[in-house]
Amino acid sequence: MLSDAHHFVRPADAAERAYLESLIREDFDRCHPGETLEDIKRRAAFSKEDRRLYQDWMAVAAMRAQALAATERSAAACLPAAA
């Protein structure tokens, strides 16, 4: 389980939150048929279990974003220098 009461993802703004959610939405929908990420977000305001579930998914999103950024940096390093 990924949740820790003291460590969870805090997106800087709505754009970052939307980006992170886009990285997990398809998998979330597949793992939770009949529910949406928005359902969990809405219930997280009053349900500790849903809040932790959302935090776990956002942690996955943050790891995916970090891996994508590393891949992009590696690809950029392989490009020939501009003349």
Q: What pLDDT does residue 82 have?
A: 60
pLDDT for position 79: 67
Quick check: helix, strand or coil at residue 4?
strand
pLDDT at residue 4, rounded to an integer: 52
pLDDT of residue 70: 86
Per-10-residue mean pLDDT for the chain, 83 residues long? 58 91 95 95 95 93 91 74 60
**What is the rounded CA–CA span in Å between residue 41 and residue 43?**
6
Domain residue ranges of the chain, discontinuous segments joined by +: 14-78
State how far the Cα of 64 lies from the Cα of 36, in Å rounded to an integer: 20
Beta-carbon contacts of residue 44 (< 8 Å; ≥ 6 apart): 50, 51, 53, 54
Q: Quote the pTM value.
A: 0.78
